[in-house]
Structure 1
Amino acid sequence: MTDLTLVFDLDGTLVDSAPDLIASTNHVLDHLGLARVDAATLRPFVGHGAKHMIEKAIGPACEKLSEAERAALLKRYLDFYSANIATGSRPFAGVVPALQNLRAEGVRLAVCTNKMEGMAQRLLDALDMTHYFTAIAGRDTFPVSKPDPGALLGTIALAGGDRSHAIMVGDTNVDIAAAKAASVPVIGVTFGYTETPVQAFGPDAVIEHFAELEQAIGMLVSRRQQASVTADADESSRLARAVAH
């Protein structure tokens, strides 16, 4: 697997960052004098960004806020989150051993997240995970972000990889859609942040724990190799028929 580039989503895939993102949302609610929202209610919205979480937490009253007021609330959220970025956030079970094994096998590892790049870097630094990755790309790294395939393809290129030898790993429809649009095989994780089970988005493989990751990678690599052999055989057959006629 030495020519493989493996691209991970961050929140809900590599890191369980929900505790700190939810705390930041409730910090905004405290400021507004609104009741806090429990973690179970907010968790499915984590993967959709800070603005979405704030809007869902405030509810219908959010419609009455001006753009300036919304911007101020977002700044309050981000300031609090930046100061508490790894208070409760931790890598999901099995993540670190999996990254260590993959790096030892020569796999290029990268992160493609819709978090701002600086914030993603800060979180990974705080969790001592940055050194595993050849590239870390965020919402502001490229002109586009997921689900636009350009974000994923840009990340692969930034890591020095090639789309034909890359796999995406993510937890939401945004990740799956970006990979499909980029024609990159994608592995869905079941423990992330989505209201709809990840299987419904049609990933090429699904894992319930990072201990299953290498097996899923092996299956996708083997499937791709078989498809290449079949395509070569079909082309040879076509050429042979053409010559015969």
Structure 2
Amino acid sequence: MADFPFDVVAFDLDGTLADTAPDLTAALNHALERLGYPPVSAPDVRHMVGHGARALLRQGLAAAGVNDEETVDLGFPLFLDYYEAHIADTSLVFPGCEAALDGLAARGVALAVCTNKLEHLARSFIDAIGWTSRFPVIIGGDSCGVSKPDPKPLLETIARAGGGRAAFIGDSITDTKTAIAAGVPCVALTFGFSDLPPEQLGADILIDHFDALIPALERLG
């Protein structure tokens, strides 16, 4: 296990570690309803996630034909308050994820999260599902002054996790662009929230299940 090729493995959160779309959808629809607009479906929300909470609300409003920032400003606290209170009601960790995390930890790998979710929301979610000890390093979309696909959040994540050779695990074009910009190998999931076909993401390796993650990282190394 000492020969594992990566010192740090960083993960995106939404659509990568867990299917958070049900709770994000509920929060988005709560805000839309309060503003007087129609709801969106969870499958649609899966294609809206990845750029942060404001961007999600903006896209939900755009689906209703609303495209002004004043309405986004009105709806944002409605979304946040509801989501913080229901952040992990129905979200589910993807099958095989915990076993893969355990396997990486057993190999001495430092685990970290690099997400465009606001940092306090990411930490709340990780705490709510009992993963606080798994991820001592969590960088959110507001942690570095810029968000993915700018490479700075990922590079900061790797540095805070101890540095060394790192890989990034994600599910979207935002994640693969971030990894490429940071010069970091990337594994992309085929079952996340991407609105592009997986083969168009530009990842070094695609995996269909978390059971394949450690073997994929060994091949990358």
Residues 112 and 155, structure 1, Cα contact 8 Å, conserved in 2 = yes
The correspondence for 2:129, drawn from 127, 130, 147, is 127
SS at match of 1:184: coil
SS at match of 1:121: helix
How far apart are 1:90 and its partner, in Å? 1.7
Which residue of structure 1 lines up, in the alignment, with residue 201 of structure 2?
Answer: 201
SS at match of 1:129: coil
Which residue of structure 1 lines up, in the alignment, with residue 37 of structure 2?
Answer: 34
- Distance in 1 between the 2:116 and 2:214 partners? 25
The answer to whether the aligner puts 1:116 opposite 2:118 as a matched pair is yes
How far apart are 1:150 and its partner, in Å? 1.1
The answer to whether the aligner puts 1:62 opposite 2:39 as a matched pair is no
Unaligned runs of at least 5 residues, structure 1: 222-245
Letter in 2 for 1:107: V
Which residue of structure 2 lines up, in the alignment, with residue 5 of structure 1?
Answer: 8
- Distance in 2 between the 1:144 and 1:211 partners? 32
Which residue of structure 2 lines up, in the alignment, with residue 19 of structure 1?
Answer: 22
Residues 137 and 157, structure 2, Cα contact 8 Å, conserved in 1 = yes
SS at match of 1:120: helix
How far apart are 1:143 and its partner, in Å? 2.4
Tell me the TM-score normalised to structure 1 length: 0.84
Residues 2 and 107, structure 1, Cα contact 8 Å, conserved in 2 = no
Unaligned runs of at least 5 residues, structure 2: none
How far apart are 1:52 and its partner, in Å? 2.8
How far apart are 1:49 and its partner, in Å? 2.6
SS at match of 1:160: coil
Which residue of structure 2 lines up, in the alignment, with residue 83 of structure 1?
Answer: 85
Q: How does 1:1-245 map to 2 (within 5 A)?
A: 1=4, 4-58=7-61, 59=63, 61-63=65-67, 65=68, 67-162=69-164, 165-221=165-221
Per-residue CA deviations over 1:130-187 (Å, capped at 9, x if unaligned) read 211231111122122211111111100010122xx11000001111001101111000
- Distance in 1 between the 2:175 and 2:59 partners? 21
Cα distance change, pair 36–3 in 1 and its aligned pair in 2 (3 A)? closer
Residues 3 and 106, structure 1, Cα contact 8 Å, conserved in 2 = no
Runs of 4+ aligned residues of structure 1 deviating over 6 Å after TM superposition are none
For CA contacts below 8 A with separation 6 or more, give which structure has more relative contact order.
2
Letter in 2 for 1:123: F
- Distance in 2 between the 1:100 and 1:72 partners? 42
How far apart are 1:3 and its partner, in Å? 5.4
Letter in 2 for 1:146: K
SS at match of 2:187: strand
How far apart are 1:60 and its partner, in Å? 5.5
How far apart are 1:33 and its partner, in Å? 2.7
**What's the Cα RMSD here?**
1.5
Structure with bigger helix share is 1
Residues 90 and 127, structure 1, Cα contact 8 Å, conserved in 2 = no
How far apart are 1:109 and its partner, in Å? 0.6
Per-residue CA deviations over 1:172-226 (Å, capped at 9, x if unaligned) read 11110011011110000011111112220210001111000011000001xxxxx
> Which stretch shifts more, 130-139 or 113-122?
130-139
> Which stretch shifts more, 81-90 or 53-62?
53-62
> Which stretch shifts more, 50-59 or 111-120?
50-59
- Distance in 1 between the 2:218 and 2:6 partners? 13
- Distance in 2 between the 1:27 and 1:141 partners? 26
